[in-house]
A and B are shown apart, each in its own frame.
Chain A
Amino acid sequence: MAGSHHISRRDFIKITTAAVGTVIGAAIGLPSIAYLIDPALKAGKTDAWMPLGKLENFEVGKPTLATFTRSKVNGWEKSVNSYGVFVLRTSDTETLVLSNKCTHLGCHVNWNADKQEYICPCHDAQFGINGEVLGGPPPRPLDRYSGDQVKVEDGTLLIHFLEG
C-alpha cells in the first residue's frame, strides 16, 4: 500500500470527485456559454449590392420606381421584405437613387410628375426631385444612394443596400 500514508482514502475520494465534477462541469458548461451567446456572435453585416435592372431601361430625367425584395433569416424564422427606390438618371452617366421611404414615419412616397415632387400620402410631405424637403413634417431629405453607393456592372444598375 505505497502512498497510503500520504493521502487518506477520504481525501482521495474528495479530490477525485472534485476533479471529475470539474471536468464534467467544464465539458458541458463551456459549450453551453457558446450556445447561449451564439446569435449575438453571428448577427453580422446585412449589406448587399442589389441589382435594380438595366440602366438603359431608365429614362433620363424621369424618376422611376424600382422594387426588390430581401429575405432575412433570424434563427429558424425567415422573413421577406420588399423595398422600393426611385431611380433618376440625371444624365447619361450620372444616376441618383432615392429611397421611397418617407423620412417622417416611413410611408412610401410617390412621384408626382405634374408637380415634379415626391408626395407622401400619410402626412402630405413634399420632397424635391433630388430628395430635399419642400414641405411637411419630415426632418431630413430622402435617403440617397450616390457616389460609391451606386455602380453599373454589365449594363445593370446596382445600389449598395445596407438594411435587412
Chain B
Amino acid sequence: MWNKLFAWLDERLALNDLYKATLDRPEPKGNWWNTLGSASLFLFLLQGATGIFLSVYYTPSPDHAYDSIQYIMNGVAFGWLIRGIHHWGASVMVLVVFVHMLRVFVTASYKYPRELTWLIGVGLLLCTLGMGFTGYLLPWNQKAYWATTVATSIAGSVPWIGSFIQKALRGGTDLSALTLSRFFAAHIWMLPAVLTGLIGVHLFLIIKHGESEFPGKDD
C-alpha cells in the first residue's frame, strides 16, 4: 500500500531522481571545508525562520521600533532566544559565507566550469552583507541610528552620484521614518527574495557541475 502510493507519487514527482540529484550525488573525498556552503544555507534558513518570528512583534516605526524590541526581549516568552539567535546568527552567517568564499578561492574552485557559480556567489555575499546593513538599523537605538548615519554618509562620498545614492538609501536628506521603513522592506522582502533566487541558481549549478575535487599536492 505504502509502496504503491510512493510509486504513484514518484512517477509524477520524480522523487527518487530528486533525492539522487540533491542528496545522493557523487562527492569528492570528504573535507570539512566543503561543508561551509551547506552551513551558509542552514544559517540562511535559520535567519529566515527566526526573522519571521521576530516580525510577529517588531514594529518598523520610529515611535515603536525600540519599544517593540524591548518587549520582545523582556515581555514575550523566549523572545530573548529568538532575537538572540537572529542577532548572533547574522554575524555568524557573514563569517561563514566569507570563509566559504575563501575556501572556494583557495581551492581554486571558481575555475571552469564554475565561473558563474562564483559570480552568483559574489551576489550572495553582497546580499548577505546588505542583510546585515539593513538589519542593524531596525532596533532604532543610538548605535543603530549613528551607524546608519555614518554608513550612508560614506555612500554619499561617491563622486558625482554620491548625494543621490545617500538620499536614495535614506529616503530623503536625513535619517527618518522613511529610512526605517525602506530598510525594513529591504531587509524582510527585497534582499531575501534576491537571496532565495540566487541560492536556487547557486545550488542548481553545484548539482549540475558536481563538487570540485580538493586540489592534491601536484596541483
Contacts and interface: CB of A to CB of B under 8 A. Distances in A.
B82 interface: yes
A76 B59 contact: yes
Contacts, number: 43
Interface string B59-100: 100001001101100011111011001000000000000000
Given A28-B49, A28-B85, A75 B78 contact: no
A41 B76 CA distance: 10
A28 B78 CA distance: 10
Nearest to B57: A75
Contacts of A75: 57, 68, 71, 75
Contacts of B79: 35, 38
Given A75-B75, A76-B75, A36 B70 contact: no
Q: Counting chain B CB atoms within 10 Å of each CB, which of A31, A34, A35 scores highest?
A: A35
Contact of A36 (B53, B64, B67, B81): B53
A9 to B, nearest CB: 11
Contacts of B77: 31, 34-35, 38, 41
- Dominant secondary structure of chain B at its interface with chain A: helix
A32 interface: yes
Interface residues of B, number: 20
Size bracket of the A interface = 10 to 19
- Dominant secondary structure of chain A at its interface with chain B: helix
Interface in A24-81: 28, 31-32, 34-36, 38-39, 41, 75-77
A14 to B, nearest CB: 10
B190 to A, nearest CB: 25
Interface of B: 46, 49-50, 53, 56-57, 59, 64, 67-68, 70-71, 75-79, 81-82, 85
25 contacts: A28-B46, A28-B49, A28-B50, A31-B81, A31-B82, A32-B49, A34-B77, A35-B53, A35-B56, A35-B76, A35-B77, A35-B78, A35-B82, A36-B53, A36-B56, A38-B79, A41-B77, A75-B57, A75-B68, A75-B71, A76-B67, A76-B68, A76-B71, A76-B75, A77-B64
In the A-B complex, the 6 residue pairs with the smallest Cβ-Cβ separation, listed nearest first, are A31-B78, A76-B67, A76-B71, A34-B77, A38-B77, A35-B78
